[in-house]
Structure 1
Amino acid sequence: MKKITIGKISANFSERSANIEATGTIGTFGPPKAIEVLEDDKESQQVKDVMGITSFGKKAKTFNIDDMMAQVKATAREITKQPEISSTKEASDNDSNLEEDEDNSDFIGPPIPENIGEDISQLKTKSSNNSESDSDEDNDIDNHYFMPIKHETSMHHGNKAVTAVTVDPSGARLASGSVDYDVSFWDFAGMDSNLRSFRTLQPADNHPIRGLHYSSTGDLVLVISGASQAKIIDRDGFEKLETVKGDMYITDMARTKGHTAGLLAGMFNPTVKEEFLTTSSDGTVRTWDFYDGGKNHKQIIKCRAQNGLKVSPTAVTYNRDGKVIACGCADGSIQLWDFRKSSVAPASQIRKAHQPVEISCISYSHVGDNLLTRSLDETLKLWDLRNFKKCVHEVGDLFARYDTTDAIFSPSDQVVVTGMSLKKGEKIGYINFYEVNTFKLLKKIPVAESHTIKINWHTRLNQIFVGTGNGLIKCFYDKNKSMRGVTLCVVKTHRKAQHSEVVSTQQVITPHALPLFRQERRKTSRKQMEKDRLDPVKSKRPDLPITSGQGGRVASSGGTLSSYVIRNLGLSKRVDDDQDPREAILKYAKEAEENPYWITPAYSKTQPNSVLAYSNQEETDGEPDSKKTKKE
């Protein structure tokens, strides 16, 4: 090539850039000069000689610029050589690939990797080894799907079936409900290895508990019972709200303020902490606002069957953003409602999703694309919301005795879990783990000698809580994969209270020991009640009946006015009401004749002989009959 010259700028392209070496020097600025030694430096040097040291403090590090530049040049040469080698290799590979592409132009798709045979052989050896040891295979499944099932413990709720289990979002407390009307609260940080609840109450009186659900903040608990009124209690069990009861004589459910029949299900909104919903046997789903006090529902959904009649929504859930409500009805249908569109007709529905029996559970996946349903027709089905016409996977022969039998997704959405009830002749209840994509049975774990009903797989704790039919709550966890929760309790040993007995020989006399200063011992409520019962003032005893007048009160004196006058004003002697008055008067006839007192003494002198009236026949003959005196 020719050398190109433009003015004073020249460039020679024939020379290779690799052969041009950089000088690597900055140059010098002026001639070198000797460094002047200051007087202070002389004095400091003398001090160093006297003290026997070489320098004050830490010596500064010196750098050789020539050595550093030589090292930089060497590294630059190595870097420039590596791209050249790689470029030559790429060129050769491209040429070989072009030849292979020309030969294999008939093949469609990417070429098969060269080491695929080695990988297949390795997989075969692994599968053979796993078939030899079942324990290794189980460990691989547990590690791949993060199933915390290596360890377990039990919490005793009662003697009847546990139909509700919920854990607050932080994983600090657990609440359980049963058909024995009790709700128990469990605090993991405050429990020891005995695993006893710190509070038990009956919020719905004599109604079984069907469901419990914590709010998104964990400060409130929604209680769904067999009554028509839902209740909200705080973390310690104190009532905060009770929904109003609707008028059962109004046929239009939209005009009633609340439910008119027993509740079936309910839950809090996952995004709006003050909103919650309830379902009832009256065929409605109602949303409520906590700050409204439960005086009136916020919105209402009326579920209808295919024939137009009302149907009870037995299971309900929100989607992950709280905008769509999914209902599983008693006729086996699934209905999705979106209030942003309409509250009159469902956004989408499947009429014959299950057999015409109750759907016990319906739940969204954490991603929100899949829907899982569990029904009393002994089936478990997975639905894809993007193609909501036919179920993706189905598993049968899953017996369920309770209408609250659960089915949930794992926190990673890779596994679904459901419980099974005991058939006749069976003794142990199981929970089954299925792979989401294929519904292949991964695990079947025995839980208890009873039914398995409610299941809760907490996301933060990575622990599984199962409510059983014999009143136990089984807790499954893994020491390596689970955190907090039950792992805090099982390591705490229960310490028995040591009662120490001390006999004092010295007698201490204090002023408070004297009867004047002695305080009464606190009596039990029963003894205090018996003592108050004897006190007429504290017991508010009515006045006792009296036989004679005293204290301004008059004794009872018969039922008539005459008996009252005779007893209290006329006579001093008591007269019975049952006595015949004629006999009482004739009793004194003989005494009146012998000893007259009132009228007879007056006539004894003036008219000793009684003069009786005689009849005048002559005077009365001329009178009419109506004027004649009547005679006996």
Structure 2
Amino acid sequence: MSDSDSDEYQVTEPVTSYDDPMRAFIPTSFGKTSKEANIASQIEKTRRQVEQPPPQKQKRIAANSDSDDDSDDSESDSEDEAERFPVTHEMVLKTHERVITSIALDPAGSRMLTGSLDGSIKFHDFASMTPTTLRAFKSVDPWETKKSASSDSHAIQHIEFSPHSGGVFLCVTAHPQAKILSRDGAILTEFVKGDMYLRDMNNTKGHVGEVTTGTWHPSDQNVCVTAGSDSTLRIWDINNKRSQKHVIAFKSKALGCAGRTRMTAVAWGAPASGTSPVLVAAALDGSLVMYGGNGPFTRPAGEIREAHKPDTWTGGIDISADGRMVVTRGGDGLIKLWDTRKFKEPLVKVEHPATSDRYPMTNIKYSPNSSYIITGSLSGHLHILNPANLRPEHVTAITPGAPLIAVDWHPKLNQIITGSATAETHILYSPTLSSRGALEVMSRAPKKRHVDDDPSFTMDQSGAGISGDAIVAPGALLKPRGGVSASGKSRDPRRPQVQQITPFMRSQPDEKHISENIPLSRMLHEDPREALLRYADVAKKDPMFTGAWAKTQPVTEYAEASEGEEEGEGPERKKARR
């Protein structure tokens, strides 16, 4: 067929109507086609609906407005406020089962940790998540190795990455011992527990009561501070777990507390100018106390009695970037602003509903450049406040009806992370103002799901003791012989022998604890005769205790036995006398 003949042929497409469902199955081109993700559509799906202001603000706007034009202007103003902050879009993570109490991000913004009342810490990596795989890659229980079958995990009170390197983080649980964990969840340091029978807290080597919170030193990466219910602040060197570096015993002056009270919040800040840092702590008796950040800690630099209402939990405290302003959120429903240079009266105070009755760990934070203050509310709204007069600059609902507990504003990502009583983590971001983090996750193509990922297409083997993710080796499903032998061993040859736990073994510490905490414990397994024979040659060459006889040794008076006598070849007269 010639080229001229081929030009006469035309390929005609099947004629179908526009609304025919078969058009979706008719190919429009030859070859393999690739389906690309619509990134703009994915990001647009995460756009948050613009929330109306709270009822009080709506009434004020309605009272001042006389026409529909004013209401339109107020809506446009609220939209303009939202564009100023990274709150236009959100990504929701549902990885916990109970209330989220604390959130921590490393300085680079690549890893996020969330702590909950269920006693677990969830690890999230933004680099490994996609829009269809929003989950934690690891879950760690700091007390999993020590809890018994009948005991529960300790609730996570506070977690915080080291602001210097991000390689370790401080973990505070409802227990007298705080811990230092690596960014992968390995326990590096577990601070010692103090002697609860000592009355003077300056003589104890650790907390004797529950640790409520803690934070890191602003410039020293090896130093952190913890606040406890034993009325002390303890400064630790993370390389020395046997005793704290400094003990700050706070003596309460309130009536009826016998000089002791719970320390509920602590903040350690340093100004960018390089002057001395400050250490500020709040107590349950309503006191607010300030120390010099580098010591000495014998006497406070400033103390305010009844800064908040006594017997209310002041769980939120933070220091501005210049180290001059301190903001506190008390259980009395007030947010107060303090000046460290005139540490006597609050500069500003505003009313804010407290959540300390149910969730005392609710915090308050400065923005990265201290231009705003963020905190949650009992109604589930995020409040962005002006740092000068504490008036709300922007209020938006995150979890309506459920308290918003933990908030954080990351400086590199420019994203706001919140944790609520609904066990959800909301990451607020803006495509124009934020970078990486949640924006990077939503900019990836969704991960292709395999047919085995759908549980409706797989058989349920849970009744046979096999999980859906288990890998069954050939011959592993053979029915083992049941029962035990007369000696107590299992008849199944593949099952290892279970160590019997006797009452004597329960009271004995394990070998790892002995080797780490008891000096010279390795000598328990050493033969004393062999240990002494190591020094036989040294004692012979350089005697220490028999030096007086080195040159005046007496001469042997008795003749030594001959070789023949030793072998039994001596005279018969000697043999008979024997």
TM more than 0.5: yes
Report if the CA contact (8 A) 2:325-2:337 is conserved: yes
TM-score calculated relative to the size of structure 1: 0.58
Report if the CA contact (8 A) 1:130-1:137 is conserved: no
What SS is found at the alignment partner of 1:386?
helix
CA distance in structure 1 between the partners assigned to 2:191 and 2:295 by the alignment: 27
Q: Offset of 1:276 from its aligned partner? A: 0.9
Report if the CA contact (8 A) 2:385-2:392 is conserved: yes
2:121 to 183, 192, 216: 183
In structure 1, the partner of 2:322 is 367
Give the 3 Å change call, closer, same or farther, for CA 344–489 of structure 1 in structure 2.
Answer: same
In structure 1, the partner of 2:157 is 210
Give the 3 Å change call, closer, same or farther, for CA 248–494 of structure 1 in structure 2.
Answer: same
Q: Offset of 1:484 from its aligned partner? A: 0.6
What SS is found at the alignment partner of 2:80?
helix
In structure 2, the partner of 1:199 is 138
In structure 2, the partner of 1:238 is 186
Q: Whose Rg is larger?
A: 1
CA distance in structure 1 between the partners assigned to 2:197 and 2:479 by the alignment: 46
Q: Offset of 1:497 from its aligned partner? A: 2.2
Q: Offset of 1:521 from its aligned partner? A: 2.9
Structure 2 residue runs without a partner (length 5+):
1-67, 145-152, 454-471, 500-578
2:266 to 316, 332, 342: 316
1:333 aligns with 2:287: yes
Report if the CA contact (8 A) 1:130-1:136 is conserved: no
CA distance in structure 2 between the partners assigned to 1:346 and 1:196 by the alignment: 45
1:481 to 433, 440, 452: 433
CA distance in structure 2 between the partners assigned to 1:300 and 1:465 by the alignment: 33
The one-letter code sitting in structure 1 at the alignment partner of 2:422 is: N
CA distance in structure 1 between the partners assigned to 2:308 and 2:479 by the alignment: 58
1:494 aligns with 2:444: no
CA distance in structure 2 between the partners assigned to 1:300 and 1:336 by the alignment: 15
Report if the CA contact (8 A) 1:204-1:225 is conserved: no
Q: Offset of 1:227 from its aligned partner? A: 0.8
The one-letter code sitting in structure 2 at the alignment partner of 1:475 is: I
Give the 3 Å change call, closer, same or farther, for CA 279–537 of structure 1 in structure 2.
Answer: same
Name the structure, 1 or 2, with higher relative contact order (CA <8 Å, separation 6+). Answer: 2
1:406 to 358, 363, 366: 363
What SS is found at the alignment partner of 1:489?
helix
Query: What is the 5 A alignment of 1:190-589?
Result: 190-193=128-131, 194-205=133-144, 206-215=153-162, 216-292=164-240, 294-307=241-254, 309-320=259-270, 323-338=277-292, 340=294, 342-356=296-310, 357-400=312-355, 401-422=358-379, 429-449=380-400, 450-492=402-444, 493-498=446-451, 521=474, 523=476, 533-535=490-492
Give the 3 Å change call, closer, same or farther, for CA 529–273 of structure 1 in structure 2.
Answer: farther
Q: Offset of 1:420 from its aligned partner? A: 1.1
Report if the CA contact (8 A) 1:303-1:312 is conserved: no
Q: Offset of 1:520 from its aligned partner? A: 7.5
Q: Offset of 1:222 from its aligned partner? A: 0.7
Structure 1 residue runs without a partner (length 5+):
1-127, 423-428, 501-518, 543-632
Report if the CA contact (8 A) 1:204-1:227 is conserved: no
Report if the CA contact (8 A) 1:380-1:398 is conserved: no
CA distance in structure 2 between the partners assigned to 1:305 and 1:251 by the alignment: 15
Report if the CA contact (8 A) 1:452-1:468 is conserved: yes
TM-score calculated relative to the size of structure 2: 0.63
Q: Offset of 1:488 from its aligned partner? A: 1.3
Cα RMSD after superposing both structures: 2.8
Query: What is the 5 A alignment of 1:55-134?
Result: 132-134=72-74
The percentage of aligned residue pairs carrying the same residue is 28
What SS is found at the alignment partner of 1:402?
coil
1:156 aligns with 2:94: yes
The one-letter code sitting in structure 2 at the alignment partner of 1:435 is: N
CA distance in structure 1 between the partners assigned to 2:352 and 2:294 by the alignment: 38
Give the 3 Å change call, closer, same or farther, for CA 174–536 of structure 1 in structure 2.
Answer: closer
CA distance in structure 2 between the partners assigned to 1:540 and 1:390 by the alignment: 68
The one-letter code sitting in structure 2 at the alignment partner of 1:230 is: A
What SS is found at the alignment partner of 2:214?
strand
Higher mean displacement: 214-223 or 412-421: 412-421
CA distance in structure 2 between the partners assigned to 1:535 and 1:297 by the alignment: 51
The one-letter code sitting in structure 1 at the alignment partner of 2:339 is: D
CA distance in structure 2 between the partners assigned to 1:526 and 1:325 by the alignment: 64
The one-letter code sitting in structure 2 at the alignment partner of 1:494 is: K
Q: Offset of 1:526 from its aligned partner? A: 10
